[in-house]
Amino acid sequence: MSTEKTPTGMAAYLSVMRPDHWLKNIFILFGHGAAIVLLGLTITPHLLWLIAYSLVPACLVASANYILNEILDAPFDRLHPTKHARAVASGAAKESVLWALMILLLVVAFAMARWSFNISYVISLALLFVSGLVYNVPPLRLKDRAFMDVIAESFNNPIRLWLGWYAISPANSFPPLSIVFGWWMFGALLMTGKRYAEYKFINCPERSGAYRKSFKTYTEKSLLIAMVTYANLFCFCAGTAVAVYRPNLIFAFPLIVIAIIAYFNTALTTEGAKLEPEKLLQNPVLIVCILATVGLTIFLLLTPLDLASYVGFFQLIPGGR
């Protein structure tokens, strides 16, 4: 039996909005970085302001999606070992108040976006909300469909990439598909790992199938095969993008692999299976790996040295006779 406490009062409504999950929107910074590097943008105080400000509408729409998610998931959360203590599932938060709060968040978010950013940013923000609808609302409700649940949820990664990109880039520009697809597959890899951990944690086919319908189809084998598939697709797309646009970044891959290993090392534990991806990202070892990866990436982007050519990584070095 879970010892998790049910929030009460204002804390119950705040918990449904999940501000602690806003950490996911840090992936928007990847879109900012891609635009700065590929379009050669100059970093100015105004650009930094746009980068910081662009996170706000995305966080508000994310909270609207979380409200929708928790209202529709309440009957299933009551069957989960820990999620039964959530505010809606436990009855601590009124659904009527939450619906009004969701509308308010959306109105404020889109007003801020339309006032400050181009139409492509607004469309990307709309996609973030539509993604939540497709994922949660019947009859589609892709979260109940095996494999489509991961594909749909991880599609938020490209959306966040576009949000970061269009916050500081022209509306008629578009990031390379190799980067967009690679970022999508990276998200799918992480989400499939969480599905696998959760499947193992519940450890009861009947209960897991009642809680998440996709678990009626999933097996340990199919989840592991999916993880390997997404990992291969991520490496293919990321390797292509690096080879074409920034060959030096090939040297960041070892640290990326170490960070992924750290993520799964935590996610596949009994305790890690209970946690949402945002909580997993707070693991100290994983934080160190991420910071080290970011630091090395920045160095590789800024260095004038052509390290990839120096070691002959992408070049044939013919031998003499």
Please write down the HEC assignment for all residues of 190-216.
Answer: HHHHHHHHHHHHHCCHHHHHHHCHHHH
Q: Which residue has the tokens 């990439």?
A: 161
Cis omega (within 30 of 0) on the bond before 139?
yes
Q: Which of 180, 209, 146, 159 is nearest to 38 (CA)?
A: 180
Q: Do residues 199 and 224 make contact, with C-beta atoms less than 8 angstroms apart? A: no
DSSP code of 320?
P
Residue 278, pLDDT > 80, answer no
Half-sphere exposure in the Cβ direction for 55 (13 Å, CA): 16
| Dist CA 65 CA 88 (whole Å) | 14
* Structural domains of the chain in order of their starting residue, each with its CATH number: 10-245 (1.10.600)
121-155 tens-digit pLDDT:
999 999 999 999 999 888 888 988 999 999 999 99
Residue 189, pLDDT > 60, answer yes
Residue 10, pLDDT > 70, answer yes
218-237 tens-digit pLDDT:
888 999 999 999 999 999 99
DSSP code of 44?
-
246-275 tens-digit pLDDT:
999 999 988 888 888 887 887 777 676 666
Check residue 41 and give its pLDDT: 92
Which residues contact residue 57 at a Cβ distance below 8 angstroms, ignoring those fewer than 6 apart?
Answer: 109, 110, 112, 113, 125
| Dist CA 38 CA 45 (whole Å) | 19
Amino acid at 227: M
Check residue 168 and give its pLDDT: 96
| Dist CA 204 CA 313 (whole Å) | 48
Task: Give, in order, the Cα–Cα distances in Å from 253 to each of 36, 97, 187, 248, 310.
Answer: 21, 47, 16, 10, 17
User: How many CB atoms within 10 Å of residue 284?
Assistant: 8
